Amino acid sequence: MPIRTPVASHALAAKLDETIDAALAANRLVGVEVLLAVDGRLRYRRAAGWSDREAGAALAENGLFRLASLSKLYVACAAMRLAVRGELRLDAAVSDYLPYFTPRLANGSIPTITLRSLLSHTSGLGYGFLQPDGGAYRAAGVSDGLDHAAISLEQNLRRLAALPLWHAPGAAWTYSLGLDVMGGVLEAISGLPLAEVVRREVAEPLGLADTGFHAVDPSRLGAAYADGPVRMAERHRMKMAPELSGIAFAPSRARDASAFASGGAGMVGTASDFLVLLEALRRGGEDWLPAAAVAELARSRTDGLEMDGWPGWSHGLGFAVLRDPAAAGLPAGAGSWRWLGAYGHGWLVDPARGISLVACSNTAFEGAVGAFGAELIAAVYAGLDRQDEEAA
């Protein structure tokens, strides 16, 4: 979907401007870019705040962001493209493609981990930042994909494969390095680096010139900030909870073309490119990815399992799917899709309302798991409802 001059009602623009301005004025965000499409038309676009506050550089439209877990959707779509062509089987074992990847359960048995379980975070893998200080992942030098570890993707996956699973595959939903493992699978199947696979399967067909695994133009990549907000140091750790080891951020990783391609957290791109991806998925039925494949991505794989921190949601193959809007505390319709990125991002697609929304900020964690995301979604629906009332 080409990004054109937005067409928004006064009510819609006013609600979104008010929400963004309040977050900036309260120093909850340093900078943010928000794009909203409704029924395939761009209805709102705004870049506000600072790209580099200390240098006095404003955040401009089409700047680059460290995408963190927004990367997962690109890799999931690349995998689905290969599945549509019959080049991989989602129900196949990971070890069919990566023979060394045979992690054990605590009892020593080796269960079957499928590609589908990688995408749905039901594989039994986890993330180091979800373990206490001194946890097994940190002790083994496993990278979560946001630090600047001087290792290869295969080295990271071999370290991961040597550690026990957290639980049997399918027994629970645990946010994990599954998309990093999927990246290794895609490399094994194609014989290409993951960056080339994503370029070939997603970026090039959709015309995403600014999306990849490092900054194509470092001058367009601003600073990264932590809640406070304070400018992130080159090595900056943020904890999700006091008892956990926390996420190890390394902002300069995004400028290093030699950093290993983390399929779960390592990409760099623009909010406008990401909106194009969301719109391609929302529309479905096109040559790039058939409607049946999009439906496969959006089908719940976690029925009967609780998603910790996500009340009212289930998980498909690459993103969360809204089951119960009341439990989630959001005005979006059941069947909506959503995910977040730790550097300060969030997105939502409501297929029933034709809504695609992306907000990329430079402030972790507020732009992702803070109040801003829910406030922005509420403003979108309030503005659209008011617009409909005015038109009636």
Residue 30 CA to its chain's centroid (Å) = 20
Catalytic: which of 69, 262, 314, 361?
69
- Tell me which H or E stretch contains 58: strand 57-58
Cβ-based neighbour number of residue 326 at 10 Å: 9
Nearest-angstrom CA–CA distance, 5 and 270 = 17
The phi, psi pair for 364, rounded to 5°, reads: -95, 140
The token duo for 220 is 């367009």
Nearest-angstrom CA–CA distance, 166 and 174 = 8
Nearest-angstrom CA–CA distance, 148 and 157 = 16
Q: Are 46 and 84 in contact (CB under 8 A)?
A: no
CA angle 301, 303, 307 (to 5 degrees): 85
| Residue 305 DSSP class | -
The verdict on whether 69 is a catalytic residue reads yes
Nearest-angstrom CA–CA distance, 52 and 328 = 34
Q: How far, in Å, are 22, 91, 176, 263 from residue 104 at the CA level?
A: 49, 19, 16, 23
| Residue 22 DSSP class | H
Question: Which residues carry out catalysis?
Answer: 69
